[in-house]
Structure 1
Amino acid sequence: MNVGGIAKLTIAMAIFGSIGFFTIHTGVPAVELVFVRCICATIFLSLMWFITGGHRTEIWSKKEVLQTCLCGIFLVLNWVFLFKAFEAMSISVAISIYNLAPIFVLIFGSLFLKEKMTIRALTATIVCFLGSILIVNIENFQSIEQLVGSGFVWAILSALCYALTMITSKTVKQLSPYSMTFIQTAIGIAMLLPFSDFTVFTGLSVSNWFYILGTGLIHTGFVYYLFFDSIRNLPTFLVSVLTFVDPLVAILLDILILSFVPTSLQVVGILLIFGGIFFTIRKPSKQAHD
């Protein structure tokens, strides 16, 4: 058991769980916040890439670079949509819907990659769908416009883009995680530059800048460094389980600090979503004894 790797990944997920809390205190809209995040991450991770000497042993492939660029587009859109969801709904609800991404991976895999949809995966999909209906209190919405304005659509789009990020990144085998992230965040800078309104950065307080730089340097740069450094030495199953630390911290911060009080149905919805996801990634008992 790699205790160091487990500790690094747990710390990374715990820190990332606070990103919603940081986001709502930046005072900056989603597009501009992701733009700054991409700049900070590009600088931080490229420095780590050079410091660790990874740039000397990098194996470049035109095909993989193009695949990484596509992956980067999905990654950046995923961040923008998630931050927009944070602006419109509680962190707990947004992060729960966002973590439906593994279920979307299963669905996309069966539709486009000809992967067989198992009974377990189908059951988990249905359970998570029911959970998502409960968590957004869908009975309170009288129109499609109200549902869109609630942030539900942004959260779903963020989960979809995260799932597409995972699927496209699976095809990249030779590029190192550092070079992949460098390319992805650089793509983000190019994507968002034409849409960024730099006047939103005027008049910000020191506290605002602390949270803005925190989302870039800590939640993207430092966390991604810990994440990449740990997952290489841990089994996939353990990585999947430890990622649950992220939404757990997010929900606890939302309840304890931001005073979010979930209804009984929302609690059931949260439990259904994460129960369904855990049921999907849980290692079957037969494999556990192999």
Structure 2
Amino acid sequence: MNATMKFALSMAIFGSIGYFSAKTNLPSIELVFIRCICACVVLSIVYLFSRRKKEAVEKKEIGYSILCGIFLVVNWVFFFRSFEYMSVTVAVSIYHLAPVLVVLLGSFLYRERVSLKLMLTVMICFIGTLLVGGMQDFLTFDALMSAGLPWAFGAALFYALTTLTGKKIAKLNPILTTIIQTGVGIVMLVPFVNWGYFNHLTGENWFYILLTGIIHTGFVYYLFFSSLPKLTSGTIAVLVFIDPAVAIFMDIVLTAYRPDFLQIIGILLIFWGQTRAAFKRKRSESLN
């Protein structure tokens, strides 16, 4: 399977995470903690029996993997937290501001001049975020926090940081990369886990918990990190459309969610901005 197919498949599987996470009956921190344990254990077994276990490991890429793992785990916690306040469609739409943030952060980190078009794209996406989050109904700070917008936007920011950092990991085995990152997640989250949430879980809950841990974490991020260094930022920004398309489709079909008119306008503005960001990356890469 080539890098494009791997990344596309990872996005399609990840697009279903909102529906499956609701079936686990766990809050964000506890769910991410279990996901990290499942993925770390399963991938460690796979890595130990793989032929590449004696490969050389670069210390610099280990450092990038740890940093990327921190960003990734915070991204997960914020993302699942947003589902506790808003629909999957709304949360995913805001979350996919990430490609626009990748372009904006990339311009800042690499000291590229921020163009008027880029600032216009950011403003349009910001307006779209306000509309899709229903911000016209939340005029106080407390109401804004209760709407879940900060969690979804924070998830988008840390997803962008994960993407930018992940592109620095080119030689490290993707399985080992994911093991390091999920190991970082276990260490980060164990002080914050409320063990009482695990006392009343059903067999169905555990099925979905293990599914999200093994498939939606271990397998998906193996595909994600094994393909990421081989793809251009422009290609990545285009392929990530698969994730929200699957998520919104499942939300509408399986949970019968119906966004209102202003939310539809907001979703279109965000995806329009994401498209412009994707093509900006493609153009800049074709000139290099």
Q: Same fold (TM over 0.5)?
A: yes
Instruction: Say what the alpha-carbon RMSD is for the aligned residues.
Output: 2.4
| Residue of structure 1 in register with 2:52 after alignment | 54
**Matched AA of 1:185:** T
| Residue of structure 2 in register with 1:163 after alignment | 160
Q: Which deviates more, 225-234 or 188-197?
A: 225-234
| Residue of structure 1 in register with 2:8 after alignment | 10
TM-score, structure 2 normalization = 0.90
- The change in CA–CA distance for 1:266 and 1:13 in structure 2 (over 3 A counts) is same
**Matched AA of 2:237:** S
- The change in CA–CA distance for 1:66 and 1:229 in structure 2 (over 3 A counts) is closer
| Residue of structure 2 in register with 1:216 after alignment | 213
**Matched AA of 1:115:** E
Q: Which deviates more, 122-131 or 232-241?
A: 232-241
| Residue of structure 2 in register with 1:277 after alignment | 274
Aligned-pair distance for 1:243? 1.8
Aligned-pair distance for 1:174? 3.6
Q: Check if 1:86 corresponds to 2:101.
A: no
Cα distance in 2, alignment partners of residues 130 and 252 from structure 1: 23
- The change in CA–CA distance for 1:12 and 1:88 in structure 2 (over 3 A counts) is same
Q: Check if 1:268 corresponds to 2:265.
A: yes
Q: Which deviates more, 226-235 or 199-208?
A: 226-235
Q: Which deviates more, 6-15 or 147-156?
A: 6-15
Q: 2:151 aligns with which of 126, 150, 154?
A: 154
Q: Check if 1:184 corresponds to 2:181.
A: yes
Secondary structure of the equivalent of 2:24? coil
Aligned-pair distance for 1:234? 5.3
Q: Check if 1:206 corresponds to 2:167.
A: no
Answer whether contact 1:106 1:117 (CA < 8 A) is retained: no
Q: Which deviates more, 278-287 or 244-253?
A: 278-287
Answer whether contact 1:37 1:215 (CA < 8 A) is retained: yes
Secondary structure of the equivalent of 2:53? helix
Q: 1:96 aligns with which of 88, 93, 96?
A: 93
Q: Check if 1:24 corresponds to 2:22.
A: yes
| Deviation per residue, 1:75-118 (Å, 9 max, x gap) | 10110010000111111111111111122223323334313323
Answer whether contact 1:28 1:200 (CA < 8 A) is retained: yes
- The change in CA–CA distance for 1:105 and 1:236 in structure 2 (over 3 A counts) is closer
Answer whether contact 1:75 1:162 (CA < 8 A) is retained: yes
Cα distance in 1, alignment partners of residues 261 and 147 from structure 2: 19
Aligned-pair distance for 1:230? 4.6
Cα distance in 2, alignment partners of residues 68 and 123 from structure 1: 33
Answer whether contact 2:97 2:125 (CA < 8 A) is retained: yes
TM-score, structure 1 normalization = 0.89
Aligned-pair distance for 1:71? 1.8
**Matched AA of 1:46:** S
Secondary structure of the equivalent of 2:56? coil
Structure 2 segments unaligned to the other structure (5+ residues): none
Answer whether contact 1:76 1:188 (CA < 8 A) is retained: yes
Answer whether contact 2:72 2:159 (CA < 8 A) is retained: yes
Answer whether contact 1:120 1:280 (CA < 8 A) is retained: no
Cα distance in 2, alignment partners of residues 205 and 278 from structure 1: 42
| Residue of structure 2 in register with 1:33 after alignment | 31
Secondary structure of the equivalent of 1:56? coil
Q: Check if 1:67 corresponds to 2:64.
A: yes
Cα distance in 2, alignment partners of residues 83 and 235 from structure 1: 28
Using the aligned pairs only, state the percent identity: 44
Structure 1 segments unaligned to the other structure (5+ residues): none
Q: Which deviates more, 42-51 or 26-35?
A: 42-51
Answer whether contact 1:12 1:223 (CA < 8 A) is retained: yes
| Residue of structure 2 in register with 1:134 after alignment | 131
Answer whether contact 1:97 1:159 (CA < 8 A) is retained: yes
- The change in CA–CA distance for 1:228 and 1:285 in structure 2 (over 3 A counts) is closer
**Matched AA of 1:49:** Y
Q: 1:43 aligns with which of 36, 41, 44?
A: 41
Aligned-pair distance for 1:224? 2.1
Cα distance in 1, alignment partners of residues 226 and 232 from structure 2: 13
Aligned-pair distance for 1:285? 11
